[in-house]
Amino acid sequence: MNAILLSAVWGIVMMFSGIFTTSKTAIRNVAVVGLVLLVLGNYADMIGYHLMTVNVHKMLYFDTFGLLGNLIAFGSTLLYVLLSGRDMEKVGHHLAEYFALIFFVLCGVAIVTTFNTLLMLFLGIEIISIPLYILTGADKRNLKSNEASLKYFLMGAFSTGLMLLGIAFLYGATQTGTFFIDDLWSGKTAVTPLFMAGLLLLLVSMAFKVSAAPFHFWTPDVYDGAPTVFTSFMATIVKVSIFVGFIRLFDEAFGDSQEKWQVFVAIIAAATLFIGNVTAVFQQSVKRMLAYSSIAQAGFMLLALLALNGVAKEGIILYAAAYSIATIGIFAVLIRMKDYTFEGFNGLARQQPVLAATCTIFLLSLAGIPLTGGFFAKYYMLSSVVATGHYLWLVIFAVLCAAVSVYYYFRVIQAMYFKDGDGATEAEPGLGFKGLLVVLAVIVVVLGVWPQSLLGQLSRLIYTW
Amino acid sequence: MIPVLLIVIPLVSGLLGFFLRSEKTARGWALLSSLVTLAVTLWGVGVDKTSPLLQANVEWLPDLGSRFAVGLDGLSLILSLLTAVSFPLIFIATWRDQYKRAWNFYALMLLSQAGLLGVFVATDALLFYFFWELALIPVYFLCSQWGGERRIAATFKFFVYTFVGSLLMLVGIIWLYFHTPDHSFSMESFYKLRSTISNSDQTWVFWLLFVAFAIKMPIWPLHTWQPDTYEQSPTATTMVLSAIMVKMGVFGVIRWLAPVLPIGTWAWGDTVSVACIIGMVYASLIAMKQDDLKRLVAYSSIAHVGLMALAIFATDQSGMQGVMIQMFNHGINILGMWIVVDLIERQFGTRKISQLGGLATKAPGLAILLVIVALANVALPLTNAFVGEFLLFSGVFTSTATQYNVVFTAVAMLSVILSAVYTLKMIQGVFYGKTNALTEKAVDIRLNEKVALGVIVVMIVFIGVYPKPVLELTKDAADFILTKMNYK
Amino acid sequence: MNQIPLSHILFVSTALFFIGMYGLFTRRNMITMLMAVELILNSVNINFIAFNKYLYPEKLEGVFFSLFIIAIAAAEAAVAIAIIINLYRNLHSIDVEAADEMKF
C-alpha cells in the first residue's frame, strides 16, 4: 500500500514542482528523492511497517512476490533516473511533467503487481498505459514520436478492449458474481467454453501488453519512435512489471486449469522467441535491435508463465532484475551516442573504454553468458520448464534461439572492440555517469556469481518479519 | 585448497593485468603468474592422493543444490599439469611477439587459464558449466582482437558453434539435475544417476551433452570451425586452443558423460566411433594436401583427437589410461609444432610449405628440435606419443564394448600411416631441398625459443622412455571411471 | 414479466464489439478510429451490465466495473484527442496513412 500511496502523491508533487521551480537540477533531485522514498516505502511494506492501514477489501493482496516485483521496478527506476535523468531534458521543456508521468506509471506498476481482483488488474494496466501514451509522444515536434504514440494508443486501446471482453466473459462464467481472482479456481467456477474464451482473451491481451508474438507488431515501431529515454523505461521496468502481473494472474486465477492453456503459452513463447531473435538479426539500428531483443527476452520470460512453479516465480524476479538493469545500462549508453546504427559503435572501446567495457558486460548478460545475472535468469527459466517434465522441445528451441541472440548482441561488441571508427558520444560523459555504469555492471556480475544475494536474503528478510 | 589456488592465481593476476600499462611488465607478470601456477600444480602432483589439500567444498547456491566443489584426482591432475606447463612455455616461446595493448592480451590469456583450470578441477556440474563458458569468453576476445585478417568472422563461427553446444549441454545438465534423487549438481549425485535413469532416456540425453563435447574436440562432422579459427588466431592463442582447449571435450566425455550415462555411451559407442574414424582418415587426407603449415597442424590435431575419442568409447582399461596420457602428450607435442610454425612465420613471413626449403643447413638447431617434435607427432617409439598411442590402439583392439574392434583398429592405423606421410612431407618441404631467396637469410633460433622447445623435447623423450610416473598418476582415475562406465 | 433473454443482449454487445473492431481496422480517419475504440469499450459495458442484471441480480459488481470503464475511456479519449491534435499540427491531416514515418 505504501508504494501506491507514495507514487500517486509524489506524482502530484512532481507536477507542482514544475510550477515552483524552473531549475532542472532541482526537479531531478525531487524525483530522485521521491524514488528513494518509494524504494524505502516499499521495503517498509515488506518488513511490515505501513504508512496507514487501509481496508482494501481484499482487492489488493500484498504478498512477497508482488512486493519483490515492486522493489525491482522502483530500484531500476531509481538507477534509470540517475543514469538518464539528464537526457530527459533534451526531449522537451516539461521535465517535471515527465517525472510526474513516470511516477503515475509506477503507481500503476504497484497495482498490477499486487492486484487481487480483475478490476484492479484493469485499472493498473490502464494507469500504466495512459501516461505511457503521453511519454511516447513527448517529443512533440518529432513526427516519428507522434506516430509511435498514436500506434501505441490504438493497439493499447484495442488490447484493453480484448481484456475487458475477457473479464466480462469470466464475470459471466463465475458463479459468485465477483471479480476476485481466486473465485476463478475450479470448485468455484466450472471450466465452460465461456470461461475458456475469457481466459484466452486475457491471455491474448496480456501478450499484447508484454509484446509477445504474434501480438508484438506494435513494439518495434513504438520503441523506435519514442524518445530513447522513454523507450528504455518502457522496454524494461514497465515490461517486466506487467510480466509480474501476468504471472500473478495466471498463477492465482487459472493455476488449476493449467494443462488446458499451457499449450497456447508454449506456442506463443516459441513464436516470440523465434520472431524476436530472428528479426533482431536483420536490424541496422541498435535501438531497433534492442526493441526486438526485448521481444526475444519476453519469449524467455514466457517460459516462466508456462511452468508456473516455485522455480519460475523466483526466476522471473531474477530475470526482471537482470534484464532491466542490463537494458537500462545499454540504453543509457545508446542515448549518449551520436549515431544509433551498429557502425556508430565502431571503435567505441578506443574512445570510451569504461562505456565499452560496461556495455560488454550488459550485452553478455542479455546473451546469458555465465558470470552475469543473465545466465542465472535464463537458467531459472529453463529449469522451471524442465522441472515440469514436459515441453522439453521448447527448452531446446529456446536455447537455440539464445544462440541466435549471440549474433546481434556480439555485433555491438565486435563494433566496439574490433572495428576501427570514431564511435563518438555526443558529449564527454561525466564521471558520475561512468561511475553509475560501473555500479550497474557490478550488480549484474554479483547477480551472476551469487544470485542468492538477491533472492535468498530478500526472501529471508521477508519471511522472518 | 590447491584447486582453489589454481583458479584464483590466474584469475586475480589476470584481472590485475588489465591495469598494467607497459608491455614488458605485462609479459613478465604473466610469466610469473603462470610459473606460480605451475609450482602449485606440481605441489598438487606431489601430495598424497587422499590429502584434503586436493579438495575444497564451499557453500555456493544452496537453493539450487550447487556447491563450489573442486577437487583434483588423477584425471584432473594430469590436465591441470598440462595447462600449467603449457602457459609458461607459451609465454616464453612467444616472448618476442608484439601485441598492441599487450597488457590486455596477457590479462585475457591468464583469464582463459583460470577458466580452463576451473573446468578441469570442478566436481560440481553447474560449476563445470560455468567455467566451460568462462574459458571461452577470453579466447573469443583474444582471437577477435589480435588475430589474422578474417579473424572476426572465423572467431564468431567458433563462438557460435561452441555456444550452441554448451547451451544444449546446459539443458542436459538441468535435466539430469532434476533426476538426481537429492536434487544436487555434485559429481557423486550425478554418478548415482546411472541406476535411476531409464535406458531410453539415457540414449537421448547422451546427445544433449555429447554435442557440446564433440564440438570442442572436435569430432567430424562438427569440426569445421577449427581450421579457420586456428589459422586466424594469434599463435599464442592457437596454442591454448589446440593444446588445452580441445582436451576440454575429451575431459568432458570422460568425467561428465561416460560415467553418468553408461548405457547411452555404450549404445551410441559404435556410431560415435565411426564418426571418429571417418574424421581421422578425412582429416589426415586433407592434411596431406595442405600447403599452409597452420592448417596442416590443425587437421593433424583433428586426427589425433579422433583417436582419443575412439579409445574412450572402447571402454577398456589400457585405452582409458592411454587417453589420459595421450591428452598430456598431444598437448605438449602440438605446442612444439606451433612454436616451430610461429618461428617460421615470424622469420619468413609465410607459412606456405612450397615457399620454404633447405632450412636444415641454415638453422640446424631448429631442424633437430622440429624433427624430434614431428617424430613424436607421428608416435615413433621412444617418444611420448608412442606410449600413448600404443595404449590407445591396444585398448581399441581388445575392446569388448563393440564387435567391430578389429575394423576400427585397422582403419585407425591407416590414419597413423597417413600422419607419418604428411609429417615427413612437411619436414622434407621445410627443412630439406634447395634453399631459396627467402630462406637464404635464415638465422637459427634464439634463446627463448630454445628454452621452450628444449623443455618440450626433454618431456617428449622422458615420457617416451620412462612413462611410469605418468601412468601411475592416472591409473586410479582410469580404473574409477571404468567401473562407473560398466554398462552391463 | 416477459423479459428479453440474456442471449439477445449478448448478441447485441458482441455485434457492437465486432463493429468497433471492424471500424478500427478499416477506417483511416483518426477520429473515426477513436470512435471505434469507444464502441468496443461500450460493448463490453453492455456485457457487464447484462451479466449483472441477469446472473447476479442481488449484486452490483458489474455495474461498478462499467463505471470504471467509462471513467477510463474518458481519460483515454482525452489523451487520444491530444495525440491526434498534435499529429494534425505536424501533418495537417487526420488520415492515418499520412503518418508513415516508420515501416515495419
d(C-alpha B118, C-alpha B112), whole Å: 10
Instruction: Choose the most confident range, by mean pLDDT, from A5-14, B349-358, B469-478.
Output: A5-14
Q: C38-52: b or e for each residue (b if 16 or more CB lie within 10 Å)? A: bbbbbbbbbbbbbbb
Residue B120 is predicted with a pLDDT of 92
Q: Give the pLDDT mean for A49-67.
A: 85
Integer CA distances (angstroms), C56 to A166, A178, A182, C11, in order: 18, 9, 18, 19
Residue C1 pLDDT grade (very low, low, confident, very high; cuts 50, 70, 90): low
Q: How far is A391 from chain C (nearest CA, A)?
A: 32
Q: Under 8 Å CB-to-CB from C26, ≥6 apart: which residues?
A: none
Band of pLDDT at residue B480, cut at 50, 70 and 90? confident
Whether residue B488 has pLDDT greater than 70: no
Mean pLDDT computed over A72-77 = 94
CB pair distance less than 8 Å for C47 and A225: no
Summarize the confidence of residues A16-28 as an average pLDDT. Answer: 90
Nearest to A332 by CA among A425, A202, A195: A425
Instruction: Tell me the percentage of chain C whose pLDDT exceeds 70.
Output: 94
Q: Is B442 exposed, middle or buried (0-12, 13-18, 19+ CB in 10 A)?
A: middle
Residues in chain C within 8 Å Cβ distance of A148: 102
Beta bridge partners of B205: none
Would you call B316 helix, strand, or coil by DSSP?
coil
Distance from CA of C83 to the nearest CA of A (A): 6
Q: Do chains C and B touch (3 or more CB pairs under 8 A)?
A: no
Q: What is the pLDDT of residues B211-249, one digit of tens each?
A: 999 998 888 888 888 888 888 888 888 888 888 988 999
- What is the average pLDDT value for chain C, to the nearest integer? 89
pLDDT at site A78: 94
Interchain CB distance below 8 Å, B171 and A386 = yes
The confidence score (pLDDT) of residue B169 equals 92
Q: Distance, in angstroms, between B370 CA and closest chain A CA?
A: 35
Tell me if C30 and A150 make a contact (CB, 8 A cut-off). Answer: yes
Domain ranges of chain B: 265-488
Partner B contacted by A361 (CB < 8 A): no
Q: Which of A395, A407, A452 sits opposite B63 (nearest CB)?
A: A452
Residue A66, class by beta-carbon neighbours within 10 Å (0-12 exposed, 13-18 middle, 19+ buried)? buried
**Chain B from 135 to 154: CB within 8 A of any A CB:** 137, 141, 144-145, 151-152
Write out pLDDT tens, residues A281-338.
Answer: 999 999 999 999 999 999 999 999 998 887 888 888 899 999 999 999 999 999 988 8
Secondary structure (3-state) at C51 = helix
Q: In whole angstroms, how large is the CA radius of gyration of chain A? A: 21
* Mutate: best of B129, B163, B185, partner A, most A CBs <10 A: B163
Q: How many CB atoms lie within 10 A of CB C26?
A: 10
Among A151, A458, A416, A221, CA closest to A320? A458
Mean pLDDT computed over A175-180 = 86
Shortest CB distance from A414 goes to which of B63, B129, B152?
A: B152
Count of A-C CB contacts under 8 Å: 117
For residue B360, is pLDDT > 80? no
C-alpha cell of A129? Answer: 498505459
pLDDT at C83 over 60: yes
CA B419, chain centre distance (Å): 19
Give residues with Cβ within 8 angstroms of A45, minimum separation 6.
A1, A2, A3, A62, A67
Q: Name the average pLDDT for chain B.
A: 86
B50 Cβ partners below 8 Å, 6+ apart? Answer: none
Q: What are phi and psi of C100, to 5 degrees?
A: -135, 40
Q: What is the pLDDT of residues C17-58, one digit of tens each?
A: 999 999 998 988 889 999 999 999 999 999 999 999 999 888
Q: Mind listing the pLDDT tens digit for each residue in B142-191? A: 888 887 788 888 888 888 888 999 999 999 999 999 888 888 898 888 88
Q: Please write the tens of the pLDDT for every residue from B432-446.
A: 777 776 766 667 777
Report whether pLDDT(A426) > 90: no
How far does A328 lie from chain B, in Å, by closest CA? 23
Q: Is the peptide bond before B469 cis (omega within 30 degrees of 0)?
A: no
Helix B384-397 to helix B317-348 angle (10° resolution) is 140
The nearest alpha carbon in chain A to C102 belongs to A221
pLDDT band of A459, cuts 50, 70, 90? low
Residue A465 is predicted with a pLDDT of 42
The pLDDT of residue A423: 67
Among partner residues B129, B152, B167, which is closest to A403 by beta-carbon distance?
A: B167
Within 8 A of C101 by CB-CB distance, chain A residues are 143-144, 147, 225
Q: Is B130 on the interface with A (CB under 8 A)?
A: yes
Segments in B398-446 forming alpha helices (H): 405-431, 437-440
Look-up of cell digits 507542482: A16
Contacts of B62 (CB under 8 A, 6+ apart): A452, A456
Q: Is the pLDDT of residue B447 over 90?
A: no
Give B63-86 pLDDT, tens digit per residue.
788 888 898 888 898 999 999 999
pLDDT of residue C104: 46
Q: What is the pLDDT of residue A464?
A: 47
- Are the CB atoms for A51 and A41 separated by under 8 Å? yes
Residue pLDDT, tens place only, B258-283 = 888 888 888 888 898 999 999 999 98
- How many CB atoms neighbour CB B298 within 10 A? 25
C85 interfacial to chain A (CB closer than 8 Å): no
pLDDT the model gives residue B156: 87
A77 has pLDDT over 70? yes
Task: Confirm or reject contact between A403 and chain B (CB < 8 A).
Answer: yes
Cell representation of residue A380: 531459472
Comparing alpha-carbon positions, the chain C residue that sits nearest to A226 is C102
Nearest-by-CA chain A residue for B208: A396
**Residue A184 identity (one-letter amino acid):** L
Q: Looking at the complex, does the CB of residue A165 fall below 8 Å from at least one CB of chain C?
A: yes
Size of chain A, expressed as the number of residues it contains: 465
Q: pLDDT tens digits for B327-340?
A: 999 999 899 888 88
Residue B59's pLDDT band, with cuts at 50, 70 and 90, is: confident
Domain coordinates in residue numbering, chain A = 2-463
pLDDT at position B423 is 87
Q: Which residue has the cell 509506477?
A: A106
Inter-CA distances, A23 with A30, A276, C100, Å: 11, 41, 37
Rank A222-231, A425-434, B42-51, B372-381 by mean pLDDT and report only the highest. A222-231
Record: contact C24-A217, CB cut-off 8 A: no
Question: Could you give the C-alpha distances from A354 to A57, A270, A334, A416, C86, in angstroms and in order?
Answer: 51, 36, 14, 11, 40
Q: pLDDT grade, residue A463 (50/70/90)?
A: low
* DSSP-assigned letters across all residues of A403-416: HHHHHHHHHHHHHH
Please state which CATH number belongs to domain C6-92.
Answer: 1.10.287.3510
Q: Is C67 on the interface with A (CB under 8 A)?
A: no
Q: Which of B134, B144, B178 sits opposite A414 (nearest CB)?
A: B144
Helix (H) or strand (E) holding B56: strand B55-61
**Residue range C77-101: average pLDDT?**
86
pLDDT interval class at A460 (50, 70, 90): low
